[in-house]
Amino acid sequence: MTVFVDTSAFFAILDADDAMHAAAAAYFATALESGVHLITSNYVVVETSALTRSRLGAAAFRAFTQDLLPVAEIEWVTPEQHAAATSAALLVGSAGPSLVDCTSFEVMRAFGIRTAFAHDRHFSAAGFESAQAG
């Protein structure tokens, strides 16, 4: 099984104060043990890096880059995926999914991924399944 990992999941794992921390850490451990193929995008890496470093500090940023990222395959958003995501983000406006979310949807569709490890309602609204309850 292949699962796309969103910023919201990475951040929940890293932030012990996050409401989804325990569930996210448990799912991540189970996914690794059961051989789930984890994929993310370079846009998610940039977003998670900025969020983690600014909100949680250097130690959390180090944990993200040295402990979490190495177990996920990073797919680079293509110019075509970026263009499609930009169009989608412009159509939905500020209440809809972010540009990063829209690029995630494009990458997931390109790879036939139906399941997201995310704590972001936009993934289910876009028709993707949740990798975990909650």
How many Å apart are CA 11 and CA 64, to the nearest integer? 9
Residue 115's closest CA among 19, 36, 24, 21? 36
Is residue 37 a contact partner of residue 75, using CB atoms and an 8 Å limit? no
Pull the structure tokens for residue 133. 């309850």
The yes-or-no verdict on residue 134 having pLDDT over 80 is no
Q: What's residue 95's pLDDT?
A: 85
Q: Which CATH number fits the domain that encloses residue 31?
A: 3.40.50.1010
Residue 42: closest CA among 83, 95, 86, 81: 81
Q: Is residue 25 assigned to a domain?
A: yes
In a domain, 107, yes or no: no
Which pTM value belongs to this model?
0.95
Q: For residue 85, is pLDDT > 60?
A: yes
Query: Number of folded domains in the chain?
Result: 1
Residue pLDDT, tens place only, 49-67:
999 999 999 999 999 999 9
Residue span of the structural domain in which 64 resides: 2-75+113-130
Residue 54 inside a domain? The answer is yes
Whether residue 94 has pLDDT greater than 90 = no
Q: What is the mean pLDDT of residues 59-81?
A: 97
Q: What is the dihedral of CA 3, 44, 11, 60, to 10 degrees?
A: 120
